[in-house]
Amino acid sequence: MLPIIQKTQMLRTHTSLSGYQEKDGYFEPYQVSKDLKAGCTDCGSTLHITDIVTKTNCGLDFIMYILCECGSMNAIKSGKVHHDAAKFKTRPDFDINSKAAIAMYDTGLGEHKTNRFLADLNIPGISASSLAKREKEVSRSIKKVTDESLDRSLEEEKNASFSSTNEETENSPIKIKYDMGWQKRGSGRKYDSMSGVGVAIGNETGKVLEREIRSKNCRTCSYWEGKGTEAALHDCPRNWYGTSKGMEPDVGVSLIKKLEEKKCTVSTLIMDDDATTMSKIRQNIDHDITKWSDIKHVQNSLGKKLYVLPTSYRKSIRNDDIAHLMKCFTYAVHSNKNNKQQMQNDLSAIVPHVFNEHDHCNVRWCRYLKNPENYTPTIQLSNLDLNLS
Ligand SMILES: [Zn+2]
Ligand SMILES: [Zn+2]
Ligand SMILES: [Zn+2]
């Protein structure tokens, strides 16, 4: 019988060989076999992976130290490498680590979650600082690709606008949709998001033409402010010191200016009914801009008003009725896209129609006018006063 110590030692060796006790990292067999075949840097003889003496992890990849028959030690990388374009004469970086940073941008995973994900796969994690370096590296490329894509989309939008109007001018007129998204949602009256991103979308193509960020936050600045010292010169994301609500007008003006530097004129702005943004734009842009209301925003605000109706007037109106009224509204708008007068008539006929008065209705949509004998109203609002004003 073996002594107990010897038994545990055997068990340990066994699990470390077969049970993945050691984390292995990312491995590109084709790349590695090519390097092994290329052979020893001293004598040139082919290297064997089984002669590995030790290894060092470099994020997801690793470097294997392989002993040659001649006695010299060779470092073989487990994957492809590249040089950070912005850094001259530095050590090469593993491709996979930069790809991990791209994946983090793509999926929105942070450093902590990325490392937990890797740990579950039994792959060694990447330190926060090297991930941050790789993130910086890829963000430069992402920005470059984004800018090129924005320029391309703007050209497409200009061409599409030209073919829809056929007006040839030096600065092609375009219609844009503008809105701002917040890191934290505003709840009607309260806007306290630390950052927001404003986007201009082309009306003809539906593609993003320009974007801008306002941020009240910078980790470096906050850290040094906490220590009561001014931070040294750094790549600072903080570019807004006013209120969060104030970001939207400012970004609107700046987006239009940026677009107009690229040989176009923003002739129409489609946005929510935010008077502050529109007035700031009119103050700062030296030509007329027509404002169109964004149909989605109008629908939302109509919905909100209908839902508070029962509380304001102490009358009962069912959710189904509200849904029906919204449907009528959308139909009246969409079915009369190029007919302003008809849109106006249909919109003002909706309310009398649901009170069973059909003088202003149109036979296109009113089932009473089509067949008064068999008409049963979808909803009938008799419990609300018509003169709500
Ligand atoms: Zn050798
Ligand atoms: Zn800063
Ligand atoms: Zn009717």
> Per residue, what are the HEC states of the chain?
CCCHHHHHHHHHHHHHHHCCCCCCCCCCHHHHHHHHHHCCCCCCCCCCHHHEEEEEEECCEEEEEEECCCCCEEEEECCCEECCCCCCCCCCEEHHHHHHHHHHHHHCCCHHHHHHHHHHCCCCCCCHHHHHHHHHHHHHHHHHHHHHHHHHHHHHHHHHHHHHHCCCCCCEEEEEEEEEEECCCCECCECCCCEEEEEEEECCCCCEEEEEEEECCCHHHHHHHHCCCCCCCCCCCCCCCCCCCCHHHHHHHHHHHHHHCCCEEEEEEEECCCHHHHHHHHHHCCCCCEEEECHHHHHHHHHHHHHHHHHHHCCCCCHHHHHHHHHHHHHHHHCCCCCHHHHHHHHHHHHHHHCCCCCCCCCCCCHHHHCCCCCCCCCCCCCCCCCCC
Q: What is the distance in A from the centroid of ligand 1 to the CA of 74?
A: 8
The pLDDT profile of the chain, 389 residues, written as one tens digit per residue, is 444 444 434 333 333 333 334 667 888 999 999 999 999 999 999 999 899 999 888 888 999 999 999 999 999 999 999 987 777 667 888 999 999 999 999 998 989 999 999 888 888 889 998 898 899 889 989 999 999 999 999 999 999 988 776 666 667 899 999 999 887 765 555 667 889 999 999 999 999 999 999 999 898 899 999 999 988 898 899 999 998 889 999 999 999 999 999 999 999 999 988 889 999 999 999 999 999 888 888 888 888 888 887 676 666 677 888 888 899 999 998 899 888 899 999 999 998 888 888 888 988 888 888 888 888 777 776 656 544 44
Domain boundary among 270, 293, 316: 293
The pLDDT assigned to 65 comes to 94
Q: What is the distance in A from the centroid of ligand 3 to the CA of 293?
A: 27
Q: What is the distance in A from the centroid of ligand 3 to the CA of 354?
A: 7
The pLDDT assigned to 224 comes to 92
Q: What is the distance in A from the centroid of ligand 3 to the CA of 146?
A: 51
Residue 285 lies in a domain: yes
The pLDDT assigned to 1 comes to 44
> Do 323 and 357 share a structural domain?
yes
Closest by CA to 353, choosing from 342, 368, 364, 332, is 368
> Do 250 and 218 share a structural domain?
yes
Q: How many Å from the N-terminal Cα to the C-terminal Cα in the chain?
A: 99
Report d(CA 276, CA 232) in Å as an integer. 36
Q: What is the distance in A from the centroid of ligand 1 to the CA of 69?
A: 6
Q: What is the distance in A from the centroid of ligand 2 to the CA of 217?
A: 8
> Do 255 and 361 share a structural domain?
no
Q: What is the distance in A from the centroid of ligand 2 to the CA of 258?
A: 24
Instruction: Point out the ligand nearest to the CA of residue 235.
Output: 2
> Do 96 and 210 share a structural domain?
no
Q: Are strands 264-271 and 172-182 parallel, antiparallel or unpaired?
A: parallel
Q: What is the distance in A from the centroid of ligand 2 to the CA of 222?
A: 7
Q: What is the distance in A from the centroid of ligand 1 to the CA of 37?
A: 12
Report d(CA 198, CA 211) in Å as an integer. 6
Residue 279 lies in a domain: yes
> Do 282 and 175 share a structural domain?
yes
Instruction: Point out the ligand nearest to the CA of residue 350.
Output: 3
The pLDDT assigned to 162 comes to 81
Q: What is the distance in A from the centroid of ligand 1 to the CA of 62?
A: 21
Q: What is the distance in A from the centroid of ligand 2 to the CA of 299?
A: 40
Residue 118 lies in a domain: yes
> Do 260 and 177 share a structural domain?
yes
Q: What is the distance in A from the centroid of ligand 1 to the CA of 49?
A: 14
Q: What is the distance in A from the centroid of ligand 1 to the CA of 68?
A: 5
Residues with Cβ < 8 Å from 258, sequence gap 6 or more?
A: 210, 212
Q: Are 295 and 202 in contact (CB under 8 A)?
A: no
How many structural domains are present in the chain?
3
The pLDDT assigned to 245 comes to 86
> Do 201 and 104 share a structural domain?
no
Residue 12 lies in a domain: no
Residue 314 lies in a domain: yes
Structural domain boundaries enclosing 358: 298-370
> Do 312 and 203 share a structural domain?
no
Residue 388 lies in a domain: no
Residue 310 lies in a domain: yes
Q: What is the distance in A from the centroid of ligand 2 to the CA of 240?
A: 11
Q: What is the distance in A from the centroid of ligand 3 to the CA of 292?
A: 29
Domain boundary among 293, 323, 348: 293
> Do 174 and 273 share a structural domain?
yes
Closest by CA to 84, choosing from 34, 135, 125, is 135
Q: What is the distance in A from the centroid of ligand 2 to the CA of 184?
A: 20
> Do 279 and 359 share a structural domain?
no
Residue 68 lies in a domain: yes
Residue 162 region by backbone torsions, left for phi larger than 0, else alpha for psi between -120 and 50, else beta? alpha
Q: What is the distance in A from the centroid of ligand 1 to the CA of 61?
A: 24
Instruction: Point out the ligand nearest to the CA of residue 71.
Output: 1
> Do 321 and 275 share a structural domain?
no
